[in-house]
Amino acid sequence: MHELSITQSILNIAVSSAQKEHAKKVNKITIVLGEMTDFIPQYIQEYYNIVSKGTIAENAELVFKKAPAIARCLDCGHDTHLKDYKFICENCASQNLKIISGKEFFVETIDID
């Protein structure tokens, strides 16, 4: 249910970016979504089809690019792809890690006519 307010935000970003380019239509919106977020692409698309009605971005296809959850070990420098959110370096078992990818949530590109 928390997808609704962020869907409105996606629409606003797409429409205002398209208007700057004097576009007539938005065909596709590419969104980068980190693995360490709880947003569900399918719900976002369903809400999107409702909130986008009557706009130049009506029914645009939403494409989600997954950003992996990666943390860098501050002790050995190794990058670990985190599984199930578990903060542990696969190389040296340290828990002294810094997330370098996986929290992303942004509109990367739009495809317009």
Partner 1 sequence: MEIKVVHQILEWNEDVSDKIKSDLTKKNVCLINLMGSPGAGKTSIITTIINNLSDKFNIGVIEGDIAGQIDAQKMKDLGVPVVQLNTDGACHIEAMSIDNILPEFDLDTLDVIFVENIGNLVCPAEFNIGEDMRIALLSIPEGDDKVEKYPLMFQTTDALVLNKYDMIEYFDFDEQRAIKNAKDINPKISIFKVSNKTTEGVLEFIKYLENKITEKIG
Q: Is 22 in the site for partner 1 (CB under 8 A)?
A: no
- Candidates 6-14, 49-57, 72-80: pick the segment binding partner 1 (CB under 8 A): 6-14
Q: Cα separation of 63 and 54, whole Å?
A: 21
The reply to whether 17 sits near partner 1 by the rule CB under 8 A is yes
Q: Tell me if residue 75 falls in helix, strand or coil.
A: coil
Q: Does 21 bind partner 1 (CB under 8 A)?
A: yes
Cα(97)–Cα(80) distance, integer angstroms: 9
If one asks whether residue 43 binds partner 1 (CB under 8 A), the answer comes out as no
**Least CB distance to partner 1 at residue 48 (A):** 12
In the block, which residue shows the tokens 């869907």? Answer: 7
- How many Cα atoms occupy the beta-carbon half-sphere of 7 within 13 Å? 25
Tell me the sheet residues that pair with 30. 63, 109
Taking the complex as a whole, the smallest distance from the CB of residue 59 to partner 1 amounts, in Å, to: 18
Does 61 bind partner 1 (CB under 8 A)? Our answer is no
User: Strand, helix or coil at 94?
Assistant: coil
Note the residues at the interface with partner 1 (CB under 8 A).
1-2, 5-6, 9-10, 13-14, 17, 21, 28, 31, 36-39, 84-88, 95-96, 105-113
